[in-house]
Amino acid sequence: MKRKTQYLLLIFLINTSYLIAQDAHYWTEQYGNRSMLLVGNVIGSVEDLGTVFYNPSRLASKQNSSFLISAKALQLVTIKVKEGVGKADLSNNRFGSSPTLIAGSFDLKKVKWLKKLHNHKFAYAFMSRYNYKYSLDARINTTYEFNGDWVGEENLYGSLDWTKSFSEEWLGLTWAIPLNDYWNIGITNFLTVISQSANYQYDLQALGETTSGDDQVAILTRNRFRSMNDFGYVAKMGISYAKKNVKLGLTATTPKAHIKGSGTLLYEELLAGYENSNHPESNNILESHFTENAKVKFKSPLSVGIGGAYSFGRNTLHVSAEWFNKVDKYFILIPESFIGQTSNEEILNRYIDERKSVINYGIGAEWGITDSLSFYTSFSTDFSSLVLNNTKDISKRVTDGFDNSFFTANIYNFGGGFDWILKKVRLTLGCVYSRGIQTMPQIVKFPEDTNNPDTNPDDIKYTDLVWERWRVLVGFSMPINKSNN
């Protein structure tokens, strides 16, 4: 059967390729207690065990072994899409804990036969690079005139369920060594594990009456589900300089080396019961296919970071910047194609990813109230690297080239809090606020009049997506031996 390019216009236009994600941002998460108060502006001056991520070379400057549980951050994440479905808003509030870091450092001084390694420092780390879940849903119960051959307005009953979860865990081992009294070098080797799942499902039932008085029912179901797992390797190298009141650092992070990955997908389209005098032939559609063990490959960019800190009295100014290279367009998920049961056309159902080059930067200030108590204020950017596949017309059915994520908002982070050094423990209290706003096509649009020949079905209505996050931090670190860090 010949495909009808506008068959989904029977009732509305549905934009199915948009799935919110934060995996297009690199600086939204922070690791290490003090580093979180400075919202990551510590590439040249990191002092806690966040060094395994921000600059491995800084580990060589630690005098004693230590253990760190990164600040336990309780967070509230809010998403709102204004008029996401017709005139209805979509919103989601999620309260829980943020990604965290557990790390420990050690040396080999007690191993006598490894005397050559006694000035080398080592650390292990387990960190949640990303960990989030979003869910948006809406219910529709209204009347609308969409078929001029039916009597009066039709009753519409619909539901939209839109969820996505994404986690990326990094397991790292760090090595660092001082070159002299001022310079250090180091490297962290990370094994990365990614788990992602996403589901978009829209169901709509319409009840109308024909001119003969018979009830007529139309049904539309659209479902896109995918689940992916990926294993990879990333290395982060660093060099640092420290003398008197000046600290400097330079880092480089390699692109991800793919180890293995697999995915599962469901593609489903169902349309039945919609016919009128303009299209007297059958518009019924049934296309469904489930795929397992599809090829998966996540890529990440090369990045180079630079930072420094300057101390004057008890106060210190911290600055950092990091450049992330682009990632050329590629297919992140490649299932085998299939032939649609009613359209007889090939459906590829592949998901793409593409990243542009971005530079993030920030500044933080450490205000020394006493020798053991400091107050922090900070700011940093987190520009979205995502490049969207904008060639698609949302009034046409899309069977290939879906975007893996859709969150192009630039995020801005603001931090503040206190760091208190006691005899046996270092306490951290603070708060980080992050916000991003983007303009996007409306997820579900009701045409003004589908039976009016003057109506342009390709007109796209835009709306705003607002993402906000509040984090409250409570954390501690302590030295393993009696000496203080």
- DSSP structural state of residue 147: -
Nearest to 416 by CA among 398, 429, 401: 429
Dump pLDDT digits (tens) for 349-365.
998 889 999 999 999 99
Q: Is residue 43 helix, strand or coil?
A: coil
Q: In the prediction, which pLDDT does 237 show?
A: 98
Bridge partners (DSSP) of residue 206 are 156, 218
Tell the CATH topology of 7-479: Porin (2.40.160)
**Model-level pTM greater than 0.75?**
yes
Bridge partners (DSSP) of residue 322 are 305, 360
Domain residue spans of the chain: 7-479
Please report how many Cα atoms fall inside a 13 Å half-sphere around the Cα of residue 90, on the Cβ side. 26
Q: In the prediction, which pLDDT does 17 show?
A: 43
Q: In the prediction, which pLDDT does 135 show?
A: 79
The parts of the chain modelled with pLDDT lower than 70 are 1-23, 63-72, 83-88, 99, 146, 276-282, 389-397, 406, 442-460, 477-485
390: Cβ contacts below 8 Å, ≥ 6 apart: none
Q: In the prediction, which pLDDT does 415 show?
A: 95
How many angstroms separate the CA atoms of 197 and 175, rounded?
34
Is the backbone of residue 293 left (phi > 0), alpha (psi -120 to 50) or beta?
left
Dump pLDDT digits (tens) for 91-111.
778 887 776 788 888 888 888
Tokens of 36: 């979180």
Q: In the prediction, which pLDDT does 478 show?
A: 63
Q: Is residue 148 helix, strand or coil?
A: coil
Q: In the prediction, which pLDDT does 11 show?
A: 42
Q: Which residue has 């004693």 as its token pair?
A: 64
Query: Which parts of 210-245 are beta strand (E)?
Result: 215-243
How many angstroms separate the CA atoms of 416 and 377, rounded?
4
Q: In the prediction, which pLDDT does 477 show?
A: 66
Q: State the DSSP H helix or E strand holding residue 53, giving kind and residue range, or none if neither.
A: helix 51-54
Rounded alpha-carbon distances, angstroms, from residue 236 to 46, 62, 174, 190, 459: 15, 19, 9, 8, 47
Tokens of 380: 């940093």
Q: Give the number of other CB atoms < 10 A from CB of residue 79.
A: 19
Q: In the prediction, which pLDDT does 448 show?
A: 52
Query: What is the chain's alpha carbon radius of gyration, rounded to the nearest angstrom?
Result: 27
